[in-house]
Amino acid sequence: MTRAIVTGAGRGLGRAIALAFAAEGVEVTAVSRTAADLESLDGCRALPCDVTDPALALPETDILIVSAGTNVPEPFLEVAPDSFDLVLDLNLRAAFFTAQAVARGMAARGHGSIVFVSSQMGHVGAANRTVYCASKHALEGLTKALAVELAPTGVRVNAVAPTYIKTPMTAPFLADDAFRASVEAAIPLGRIGEPADVTGAVLFLCSDAARLITGTSLVVDGGYTAQ
């Protein structure tokens, strides 16, 4: 049976991705810092742990989805070192070393698929998102470099870059009617995404249908970055 690890699986996109893989018959290990968030993930093995822990140990897997992430929107001139470190530690450093932890086994077995959950903000810039954009642009670069380095071992590495998706992380921002209207106006397809819009892209990138795809970023943004 195919095995998958999904980080950030306690809520939001990570949760939706874990459930989508489980529905496809994949043996899913769902990773989250908060054990209670994993209790209702039917069909998944719960693994409560902190992906920022340097001693992180993960089981062998065929698929790794790195979905753990955060955002602290602030004006550039008000960003404090603590906020910078929080976002970069989870969005980039933890992603890097989580991938490293499982890639050794994948490379030894000669196959594997790693997908980083990036963002449309890894392709463009936005006010009050300097740290988040920096982390996601770096993640996009990591995707390309890692894909090239691991290709000879049979391991594919890609990213999926969503627009604004209805999740607990975006809920406080989208609750502002003016902000929500501005987001919808910026998306040519005219709507904010649902988690299901992203899970299909992730399943595709990990499937045999994508066996010649590595080092790319599948942008699921309703046309946001096409303008």
In the chain, domain spans: 3-166+194-220
The answer to whether the beta carbons of residues 192 and 169 sit under 8 Å apart is no
Mean pLDDT of the chain: 96
Does residue 19 carry a pLDDT above 90? yes
Does residue 219 carry a pLDDT above 90? yes
Catalytic position from the list 132, 144, 164, 166: 132
Q: Is-catalytic flag, 164?
A: no
d(CA 22, CA 45): 10
CB neighbour list of residue 15: distance below 8 Å, 6 or more residues apart = 9, 30, 37, 41, 195
d(CA 206, CA 201): 9
> pLDDT, tens digit, for every residue of 51-91?
999 889 999 999 999 999 999 999 999 999 999 999 999 99
Binned at pLDDT 50, 70 and 90, residue 95 comes out as very high
Topology given in CATH for the domain delimited by 3-166+194-220: Rossmann fold (3.40.50)
Binned at pLDDT 50, 70 and 90, residue 177 comes out as very high
> pLDDT, tens digit, for every residue of 109-131?
999 999 999 999 999 999 999 99
Binned at pLDDT 50, 70 and 90, residue 5 comes out as very high
Locate tokens 């000879």: which residue?
152
d(CA 91, CA 178): 28
**Torsion of Cα atoms, 138 then 79 then 221 then 52, to 10°:** 50
Does residue 173 carry a pLDDT above 90? no
Q: Is-catalytic flag, 132?
A: yes
> pLDDT, tens digit, for every residue of 136-165?
999 999 999 999 999 999 999 999 999 999
Q: Residue 32: beta bridge partners?
A: 48
Sheet bearing 217-220, strands edge to edge: 44-48, 27-32, 3-7, 63-66, 112-117, 155-162, 217-220
Does residue 169 carry a pLDDT above 90? no
pLDDT reported for residue 166: 93
Q: Residue 218: beta bridge partners?
A: 160
Catalytic position from the list 136, 164, 166, 224: 136
d(CA 220, CA 205): 13
CB neighbour list of residue 42: distance below 8 Å, 6 or more residues apart = 19, 22
d(CA 141, CA 147): 10
pLDDT reported for residue 54: 86
d(CA 61, CA 65): 11
The answer to whether the beta carbons of residues 196 and 16 sit under 8 Å apart is yes
